[in-house]
């Protein structure tokens, strides 16, 4: 099945001479063609829920750059919306949601079985991409990890320190854990439906994993990732899964073995040499160029890209950024990164 799809070969444990490459948020505001399609859609959420236009923006960076993978264009907060939370986006500020901080709020959420009614356009996007992508390009589906999604549902927006979620965890752990369980079960169904529609890999984004300390990391980041991974692999034997417990630091060590994921995505706060010695020993890793290089470019981009490729060259590696590309990035710097990876 892996055939000539380099991403799938790396995920299966093969060390390739040239690492396959894709980029978090590769369909995004740094591209003029994305901005034009988003304007056509009207707003961000309308773009997510329009299969034809979501397919188009997913394909744009593939046409422009020939990345080895396309990642479904969607948002991690579609799951809370599908569970019954109100979701809207404030221009220039980001997402806003109705909050879940009391039992009454939680009781207003819908059952997991009902999420597909809202999310069916996303599955149609996946089906369109399955038909439209070049034969050598791997299609990646994704969802937010339960902890990260919960931080938004509890606070009603993104927060610097995830304080409201930590507060609820301390004050009403039963409610906090019930919310996490609902998100976990919904995420399993959502990702499973993406695989049914044609996703060849899925990625679990735990963007705020780093704010969980001590046993909380194992309980609320690692354990949900393990549950989601086990459920998906039971339903879809052989489906590769990428876990991304961002800013986990030392907790990256052993994460793959403990959760069952096939690949650990690394942020740029860890040195590639350290990660090669401590994380890549368990299998494929992804990362981890700092996204600011996509803004600044130049020789520093080339040098750091080469250093990362070299550090991970002895084992399976997928080249990526350490976090998503930012809207102020220069598209020419993306090409420079790709050329450096592929040509040395």
Per-residue pLDDT at 24: 98
Task: Give the total number of structural domains in the chain.
Answer: 1
Q: What is the CATH number of the domain that holds 146?
A: 3.20.20.210
For residue range 205-215, list pLDDT tens digits in order. 999 999 999 99
Partners of 204 in the β-ladder: 143, 243
User: Contacts from 52-60 at CB under 8 Å and sequence distance 24+?
Assistant: 52/128, 54/121, 54/122, 54/125, 55/125, 55/128, 55/129, 55/132, 57/27, 57/33, 58/27, 58/125, 58/129, 59/129, 59/132, 59/133, 60/27, 60/31, 60/33, 60/34
For residue range 274-290, list pLDDT tens digits in order. 999 999 999 999 999 99
* Distance, C-alpha 11 to centroid of its chain: 15
Residue numbers of the domain that contains 152: 6-343
Is 47 part of a structural domain of the chain? yes
Is 87 part of a structural domain of the chain? yes
**Would residue 64 show up in a list of annotated catalytic residues for this protein?**
no
For residue range 146-195, list pLDDT tens digits in order. 999 999 999 999 999 999 999 999 999 999 999 999 999 999 999 999 99
Q: Is the full-model pTM beyond 0.95? A: yes
Report whether 141 contacts 199 (CB < 8 A): yes
How far apart are alpha carbons 99 and 168 in whole angstroms? 12
Is 258 part of a structural domain of the chain? yes
Is 213 part of a structural domain of the chain? yes
**Would residue 38 show up in a list of annotated catalytic residues for this protein?**
yes
The one catalytic residue among 9, 30, 34, 38: 38
The one catalytic residue among 9, 25, 182, 246: 25
Identify the band that residue 91 occupies on the pLDDT scale cut at 50, 70 and 90: confident
Is 253 part of a structural domain of the chain? yes
SS3 label, residue 110: coil
pLDDT of 36 strictly over 80? yes
Q: How far apart are the first and last CA of the chain?
A: 28
Report whether 84 contacts 158 (CB < 8 A): no
How many CB atoms lie under 10 A from the CB of residue 66? 13
Per-residue pLDDT at 115: 98
Average of per-residue pLDDT across 39-64: 97
Is 122 part of a structural domain of the chain? yes
pLDDT of 1 strictly over 60? no
Per-residue pLDDT at 2: 63
The one catalytic residue among 30, 49, 152, 252: 152
Is 200 part of a structural domain of the chain? yes
The one catalytic residue among 75, 105, 114, 216: 75
**Would residue 303 show up in a list of annotated catalytic residues for this protein?**
no
Is 1 part of a structural domain of the chain? no
Average of per-residue pLDDT across 29-50: 97
**Would residue 219 show up in a list of annotated catalytic residues for this protein?**
no
**Would residue 29 show up in a list of annotated catalytic residues for this protein?**
yes
For residue range 117-142, list pLDDT tens digits in order. 999 999 999 999 999 999 999 999 99
């Amino acid at each position: 099945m892996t055939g000539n799809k380099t991403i799938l070969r790396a995920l299966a444990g093969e060390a390739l001479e040239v690492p396959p490459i894709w980029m978090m948020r590769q369909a995004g505001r740094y591209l003029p063609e994305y901005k034009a399609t988003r304007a056509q859609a009207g707003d961000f959420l309308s773009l997510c829920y329009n299969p034809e236009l979501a397919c188009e923006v997913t394909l744009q960076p593939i046409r422009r750059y020939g990345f080895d993978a396309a990642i479904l264009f969607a948002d991690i907060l579609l799951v809370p919306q599908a569970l019954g939370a109100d979701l809207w986006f404030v221009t220039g500020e980001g997402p806003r949601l109705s909050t879940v901080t009391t039992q009454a709020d939680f009781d207003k959420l819908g059952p997991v079985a009902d999420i597909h009614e809202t999310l069916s356009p996303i599955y149609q996007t996946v089906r369109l991409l399955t038909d439209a992508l070049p034969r050598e390009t791997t299609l990646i589906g994704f969802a937010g990890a339960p902890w990260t999604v919960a931080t938004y549902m509890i606070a009603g927006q993104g927060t610097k320190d995830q304080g409201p979620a930590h507060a609820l965890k301390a004050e009403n752990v039963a409610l906090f854990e019930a919310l996490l369980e609902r998100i976990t079960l919904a995420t399993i169904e959502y990702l499973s439906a993406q695989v049914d529609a044609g996703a060849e890999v899925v990625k679990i984004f735990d963007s705020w994993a780093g704010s969980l300390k001590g046993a909380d990391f194992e309980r609320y980041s690692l354990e949900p990732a393990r549950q989601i991974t086990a459920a998906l692999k039971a339903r879809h034997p052989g489906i590769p899964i990428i876990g991304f417990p961002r800013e986990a630091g030392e907790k990256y060590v052993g994460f793959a073995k403990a959760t069952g994921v096939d690949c650990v995505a690394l942020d740029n706060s860890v040195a590639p040499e350290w990660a090669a010695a401590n994380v890549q020993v368990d299998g494929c890793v992804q990362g981890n160029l700092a996204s600011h290089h996509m803004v600044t470019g130049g020789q520093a981009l080339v040098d750091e890209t080469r250093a990362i490729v070299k550090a991970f060259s002895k084992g399976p590696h997928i080249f990526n950024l350490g976090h998503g590309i930012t809207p102020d990035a220069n598209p020419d710097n993306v090409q420079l990164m790709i050329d450096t990876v592929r040509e040395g």
